[in-house]
Amino acid sequence: MASVQLYSRGLDGHRAAYLGFTQRLLGGYRTDIKGLMFSSNPAMFLMIEESFALYLFSALWRSLFGWKTVGLLFRPKPALYGVSVRLKLKSFLLKQLRRVAVVQTLSIVPASLDSRIMEIADGWIYDFQLWDIDAAAQQKFLEISGSQASGDAVDLLQDLSRRAAGKKIVVAIGGQDKNKGFDDFSNFYSAPGVRDQWLFASGGKVSEDCQVYKNQIEAAGAHVLDRFISDDELMALYAASSVVWCAYSENYDQASGILGRAVQFGIPVIVREGSYSHRFCQTEGIAHVSLGAQIDVLNALNELPPPVQNNLAERFRTSSLNSLHIALWGRSVSESNG
């Protein structure tokens, strides 16, 4: 099989981890615009939203020579339901690309959650962050969870345990803003009885427009780490969690790496009722509670199912890897290995 070119405009945020993971997974290498234009090796855009015009142009250019191009679509919902001229044009162009056989747009939101996704995509995979944790990372998580490691991660875990004093812990992980539902996270902590039974904590920079919610929730007794969080500290936050906050805004209705990590570690999640994440949890049998506008927060939290060990990640990996092989090389994994 020809090596796959991997295109990512930058390496900020999750992009560096995505690139490293796909390089190991597919035996690929990072490419640039020159490679996209002049190499016959199959090419994959790791996130077409960051370079949509380049994806469109290079895919059509490469199709003239029969060269395969694959693009991962992170946010299908805006293109499907957006009303702006830009989003309607994006939807139209994605639909037209479906007519080009050597171009494959793959959604990282399963089509089972919204049948309309297949109007603008040729297929789908599970988000990498639902199945990318290897045995070494799982072992490290277990060591941190059992306080068998040392350093900042265990210090953070023990600090949260002391603050909780026997209460269960709801943790919001990563950068916090209104898209991540930090305003609701703060307001829900004020619901009657919640603080008596639960500790709310967050780890990650809080946006400027959410500082008022940060002050509000801290005054109520929550613990907010408004700073950069290391990878080990992220594991400690998961390890401390009774449940992970994933009840994001309607404007952020897309695949969630935070939810993906929680699923791989077997930790229940809180999701927004009716969201893609909610439907995903229902479809895949993931332990969760859903929050709506009129819900009794305390009762919802108290009905939370316990953490469970599952083998979902392996199933997600097998399905996704097979879809990627077919899109890139026209053969399933078994056919490629055979």
SS in 3 state form for 164-187? Answer: HCCCEEEEEECCECCCCCHHHHHH
Per-residue CA distances from 129 to 18, 48, 139, 220, 262 (Å): 9, 17, 17, 33, 10
Domain regions of the chain by residue span = 5-124+315-337, 135-307
CA distance 235 to 232: 5
CA distance 338 to 332: 10
Grouping H, G, I as helix, E, B as strand and the rest as coil, residue 325 is helix
Per-residue CA distances from 334 to 3, 57, 215, 317, 330 (Å): 18, 32, 55, 14, 12
Please report, in tens digits, the pLDDT of each residue of the chain (338 residues total): 789 999 999 888 778 888 999 999 999 999 999 999 999 999 999 999 999 999 999 999 999 999 999 999 999 999 999 999 999 999 999 999 999 999 999 999 999 999 999 999 999 999 999 999 988 888 888 888 876 666 888 889 999 999 999 999 999 999 999 999 999 999 888 877 888 889 999 999 999 999 999 999 999 999 999 999 988 899 999 999 999 999 999 888 887 889 999 999 999 999 999 999 999 999 998 989 888 765 666 677 777 766 666 688 999 999 999 999 999 999 888 777 76
Residue 139 has a pLDDT of 87
Residue 106 has a pLDDT of 98
- The phi, psi pair for 335, rounded to 5°, reads -70, -35
Query: Could you tell me which of 179, 174, 178 has the C-alpha nearest to residue 201?
Result: 174
- 63: tokens are 């199709």
The DSSP string of 142-156 is HHHHTT-S-SHHHHH
CA distance 301 to 155: 27
Query: Could you tell me which of 157, 175, 307 has the C-alpha nearest to residue 232?
Result: 157
CA distance 170 to 174: 14
In CATH, what number does 135-307 get?
3.40.50.2000
Sheet containing 243-246: order of strands: 223-225, 198-203, 168-173, 243-246, 269-272, 288-291
Across 36-64, b (16+ Cβ under 10 Å) vs e yields beebebbbbbbbbbebbeebbebbeebbe
C-alpha angle 90-209-180 in degrees, rounded to nearest 5:
55
